[in-house]
Amino acid sequence: MAAAWTMLEGWPNVFAELAGTRLATRTGRHGDGNKGATEAFLALADSPSVAAPVREVVARLRADLYRSDHGLDIKAAAVLSGLRIRELTGLRRGLFVKTIFAIHDDRPLPLICKADLERLGTLLRSTSSLGKAAIELGITYRGVEELVWAGRLEAIEEPALAFLERERRVGSVSVERLRSAVLARSTPTRPEGSVPLRRAMVGIPGLKPWAPVLEAIADGRLQAFVASAPVALADRISVRPDAVVRLCEHRAATPASVGIVSDMMSKKEALEALGLHPRHGACILSEWPVRTGSDRTVPVAAVETLASTAISPAEAAARFGGTSLAVARLLQRRCVPSIPGGLFDRGKAEETLRSCGVLRSGEAHAAGSRSSHQHYTPAAEETFIVTRIDRP
């Protein structure tokens, strides 16, 4: 009785909404999704055993269903939205968009609410997936998650969008706001001896603190030069050589485990965290197969554990100077334990490199760039490492 009274109070809109909800979840091509109850009720308009006033009310309702102009059939909705029919069907059955009960050729026809489609289109145009934002900023997917966590990027919580892309989205305006803030802090000229930000990141162990670094630049706490080039934002940024030390200080600001930050990462991001080239490091991550390069199937905890116990020649070269090849050969000659894929025992490798002396901040990058032009011979290798790379 209570449900019937609610239906009568909101007549005819409540009935139409209920019929649409039941129809939205039907799995076959025909039927009203309500075990025939909706069609049986509408058939009362033609039943002589029903009182004339009731027949008139039901007839008016059925006439409205014949000429519903607030919805679109599945094909028209696909044209308007640019979505596939399968996606629209999923949105309808998942009740992410409103379904309007209509009648066509004396059969129930589910129409998708035009207003919901227009709202969904506006959201798609004004937002970016986390993956797209990562590409635009030139940082990792996790870096974008951390920027959302820090409040620098606006998280858009829309179930329909999450269903369509299986990925969270951020407001495009917030991405542009962050980009503008970084550009506004750019120094007029490139500082002498500066290095690309991406190269400086190589010297930071483990997960790269992209979010804290971009925040520091946007707030003016980290001096940077941003070049004009048609590439991602991070690839345009250069920092002074001594910024490597400051980047390491920012590393502590990276959230270790918060709800919005995923506990999985892609192989590409895992290789970046480990300082490895895909050609050399694929075997280390082989236990986590992927279908595409962007699949996030590698546990972050596993990468952090490995990074805490192993070091790559690239990271060692960025921190201690020289080239990756020269550092790798030195560690091999000193019998430092290695891991298949190009990693070395972190503790023993750092101890070996420190025993030779550590380059002053800034000299490491200069030495690394000069070393690539020198002719390599086995006899000269350790001399080069000790005299040029590892001098105090």
User: In order along the chain (392 residues), what is the average pLDDT of each group of 10 residues?
Assistant: 67 78 80 79 81 83 74 88 88 88 82 89 88 94 91 89 82 95 90 85 88 91 89 91 64 54 88 87 82 78 92 90 88 90 91 69 38 38 42 36
Q: Tell me the C-alpha distance between 301 and 297, whole Å.
A: 12
37 and 116 co-located in one domain: yes
Q: Tell me the C-alpha distance between 378 and 307, whole Å.
A: 29
Owning domain of residue 161: 123-260
Of 121, 147, 168, the residue that ends a domain is 121
151 and 252 co-located in one domain: yes
282 and 383 co-located in one domain: yes
Q: Tell me the C-alpha distance between 78 and 315, whole Å.
A: 50
> What is residue 314's predicted lDDT score, i.e. its pLDDT?
92
- What are the start-end ranges of the E strands in 11-98? 71-72
Domains identified in the chain, total number:
3
For 103, phi and psi rounded to 5 degrees? -120, 130
Of 97, 121, 145, the residue that ends a domain is 121
104 and 167 co-located in one domain: no
> What is residue 68's predicted lDDT score, i.e. its pLDDT?
67
CB 153 within 8 A of CB 137: no
| H or E segment and range at residue 182 | helix 172-184
pTM here is 0.74
**Tokens representing residue 30 in the block:** 């025909």
Q: Tell me the C-alpha distance between 133 and 177, whole Å.
A: 12
Q: Tell me the C-alpha distance between 137 and 128, whole Å.
A: 12
* Tally of CA atoms within 13 A in the half-sphere of 203 that contains its CB: 26
The pairing of beta strand 127-129 with beta strand 195-196: unpaired
156 and 43 co-located in one domain: no
* DSSP 8-state secondary structure symbol assigned to residue 360: P
Cβ neighbours of residue 322 closer than 8 Å, sequence gap 6 or more? 364, 367, 368, 371, 384, 385, 388, 389
Asked if omega into 12 is within 30° of 0 (cis), the reply is yes
> What is residue 245's predicted lDDT score, i.e. its pLDDT?
64
Among the listed residues 114, 107, 95, the one whose alpha carbon sits nearest the alpha carbon of residue 18: 95
22 and 117 co-located in one domain: yes
Q: Tell me the C-alpha distance between 270 and 30, whole Å.
A: 49
Q: Tell me the C-alpha distance between 356 and 305, whole Å.
A: 27
Cβ neighbours of residue 183 closer than 8 Å, sequence gap 6 or more? 226
90 and 138 co-located in one domain: no
26 and 56 co-located in one domain: yes
CB 110 within 8 A of CB 101: yes
Residue 302, classified by CB atoms within 10 Å of its CB into exposed (0-12), middle (13-18) or buried (19+), is middle
Of 92, 121, 150, the residue that ends a domain is 121
> What is residue 378's predicted lDDT score, i.e. its pLDDT?
41
181 and 220 co-located in one domain: yes
108 and 27 co-located in one domain: yes
**Tokens representing residue 321 in the block:** 């100077």
Ranges of H-type helices in 67-158: 74-81, 85-93, 114-126, 130-137, 141-149
Residue 288, classified by CB atoms within 10 Å of its CB into exposed (0-12), middle (13-18) or buried (19+), is middle
> What is residue 133's predicted lDDT score, i.e. its pLDDT?
94
Q: What is the torsion angle, in degrees rounded to the nearest 10, for the CA atoms of residue 267, residue 271, residue 276 and residue 279?
A: 10
> What is residue 388's predicted lDDT score, i.e. its pLDDT?
40
For 94, phi and psi rounded to 5 degrees? -85, 0
246 and 336 co-located in one domain: no
Q: Tell me the C-alpha distance between 12 and 27, whole Å.
A: 26
| Residue that is written with structure tokens 């009648």 in the block | 103
Angle at 188 (CA atoms; ends 183, 192), nearest 5 degrees: 115
Q: Tell me the C-alpha distance between 273 and 207, whole Å.
A: 5
41: left (phi over 0), alpha (psi -120 to 50) or beta: alpha
> What is residue 25's predicted lDDT score, i.e. its pLDDT?
81
> What is residue 249's predicted lDDT score, i.e. its pLDDT?
64
176 and 270 co-located in one domain: no
> What is residue 319's predicted lDDT score, i.e. its pLDDT?
84
Q: Tell me the C-alpha distance between 15 and 9, whole Å.
A: 10
**Tokens representing residue 53 in the block:** 């006033």
